[in-house]
Structure 1
Amino acid sequence: MSSNIIPTYSVLVLILMSVCFVLANADAECEDVNSNLLIPCEGFLMSGGDSPNTACCNGAQIIDKQFQESDCPDREAICLCLKNAAQTLPIDLQKAAKLPALCNLTYISIDPNIDCSK
């Protein structure tokens, strides 16, 4: 019976380590999203700005490229950061929907209803 406990315990430890890695990775991704996209784009996304400034588009393109070059857990973390921002911050969702076209983004969007598992 004790031989069954050790493999079960090992699997549990591996699962917990994976969850911790994903959560730590998500925090790092959100820091990048905040500093590169949300803060520079605040004037456009949350205020009265008519168009995104250069810093906004440059930062958004950094996140877009990071998303493109990342593996699935990092992509999901980036997506969840953007989704959470859209759900919790006073972002003008109509402006957010225009951001990809205005800044030449291919992969990312700020959408409260996006399915980040895909």
Structure 2
Amino acid sequence: MAWRPFQFIFYMIPILWIFLKDLVWEDLSFGEIRTNYLFGKANAYDRADCLRRAVRVYKEILAKDPNRIPVFLNLGGLYYRRGMFETAIPYYEKVIRANPKHYQGHYWLAMCFWK
């Protein structure tokens, strides 16, 4: 898909507000604030239909915390929504390996195999 800067900017406005709110009013470490910002940035890229950029930001989060379940779920969701079920399966399997009782991991893995 083509890079859509206006869509990205539109989706980044609330993310920047959350970043400022976390920075000023919340009692979070800088690492937590940065991780929250990166999550929002990746979601904004996803909404703007910029798959490669969203994946790159999620991988940046995983470089700091390699067992972060929400990142695996979001990466699986990125590929699932685009019909790339084979690519989504390993991420849902990582969710289940990290937490065998995680029902969303089981559900989305089953949905990938069903499709």
Q: Which has the higher helix share?
A: 2
* TM-score normalised by length of structure 1: 0.31
* TM-score computed with the length of structure 2 as normaliser: 0.32
* Higher RCO, Cα 8 Å, sep 6+: 1
